[in-house]
Amino acid sequence: MRHQPRELLARHPHRRAFATLVLAGGYVEAGDVGRHRVQAGDVLLHQAWESHLDRFGDRGAEVLVLDIADDDASRPAGRVADADAIVRLAERDAAAAGRALLAQLEPKPGTQDWPDVLAERLGGEPNLCLGDWASRHGLRLGSVSRGFKQAYGVAPLRFRLVQRTRRAIEALRRAADPLSQVAQDCGFADQAHMCRAIRSLTGTTPAALRRDGGRAVIET
């Protein structure tokens, strides 16, 4: 895939797990698992139903996209030493290229400005009070909301809702607990609230996601 200079891809989800290998250019991706500045040789891994935005630099970017298993995308970012070898292998066997990429992947940390610290907290603490967090960091709540949205393309409360929704989807994929229990464990007010959030993100119902192992049964 090729992206134009200064292109902006608004925040969006993907229904399947995949890896992105940057071949040329660079961009900033801000998503559910943090914010990453990437260039040639860098790799971003995405689990099913992650959402992110992409801001491309002056040169745009050329990327190779490979399907991977959802469990292989638990680490968000890394780097490979020989991207050309992955590309050559992908021309013959995309599945083998995906396996080779994961085998060669070296970790690469994301950025850690205050919006990224907040994103990590929102992902791990469903009931985090934004006002308390802002006060502890010497920031005004309004400034936190504006700054976070500028970095991540979505307000903090919406970001937190998406993280709850993704946790619920993961729970549906891995366990047979009643929907009401999943909703409670993931921080939703009730089962109906969870169902609405899941339908908003995936376009389908919790029951359909559970039957399909956590993946959508429709294209989005």
Q: Residue 220: its pLDDT value, please?
A: 29
* 133 and 97, same domain (yes or no): no
Residue 164 · residue 188 · CB < 8 Å: yes
* 101 and 121, same domain (yes or no): no
Q: Residue 218: its pLDDT value, please?
A: 33
Measured distance CA(33)–CA(63) in Å, rounded: 20
Q: Residue 213: its pLDDT value, please?
A: 62
Q: Residue 177: its pLDDT value, please?
A: 85
Q: Residue 219: its pLDDT value, please?
A: 32
* 171 and 87, same domain (yes or no): no
State the CATH number of the domain containing residue 147: 1.10.10.60
* 182 and 100, same domain (yes or no): no
Q: For the chain, what percent of residues have pLDDT higher than 90? A: 75
Q: Residue 214: its pLDDT value, please?
A: 54
Last residue of a domain, one of 83, 107, 131: 107
Q: What are the tens digits of pLDDT across the range 77-94?
A: 999 999 999 999 999 999
Q: Residue 215: its pLDDT value, please?
A: 52
* 53 and 33, same domain (yes or no): yes
* 146 and 202, same domain (yes or no): yes
* 48 and 83, same domain (yes or no): yes
* 122 and 202, same domain (yes or no): yes
Last residue of a domain, one of 86, 107, 128: 107
Last residue of a domain, one of 63, 78, 107: 107
* 84 and 143, same domain (yes or no): no
Measured distance CA(56)–CA(3) in Å, rounded: 7
Q: In which residue ranges of the chain is pLDDT below 50?
A: 216-220
* 73 and 122, same domain (yes or no): no
Q: Residue 17: its pLDDT value, please?
A: 94
* 94 and 138, same domain (yes or no): no
Give the count of domains, the chain. Answer: 2
- Phi first, then psi, for residue 108 (nearest 5°) are -140, 120
- Buried-exposed string 73-110: b where 16+ CB fall within 10 A, e elsewhere: beebbbbbeebeebeebbeeeeeebbbbbbebbeebeb
State the CATH number of the domain containing residue 81: 2.60.120.10
Contacts of range 89-96, beta carbons closer than 8 Å, 24 or more positions apart: 90/64, 90/66, 94/66, 94/67, 95/67
Q: Residue 102: its pLDDT value, please?
A: 96
Residue 144 belongs to some domain of the structure: yes
Domain that holds residue 184: 114-211
Residue 220 belongs to some domain of the structure: no
Please give the helix or strand (H or E) that residue 114 lies within, else none. helix 114-124
Q: Residue 174: its pLDDT value, please?
A: 80
Q: What are the tens digits of pLDDT across the range 142-171?
A: 999 999 999 999 999 999 999 999 999 989
Which residue type sits at 99? R
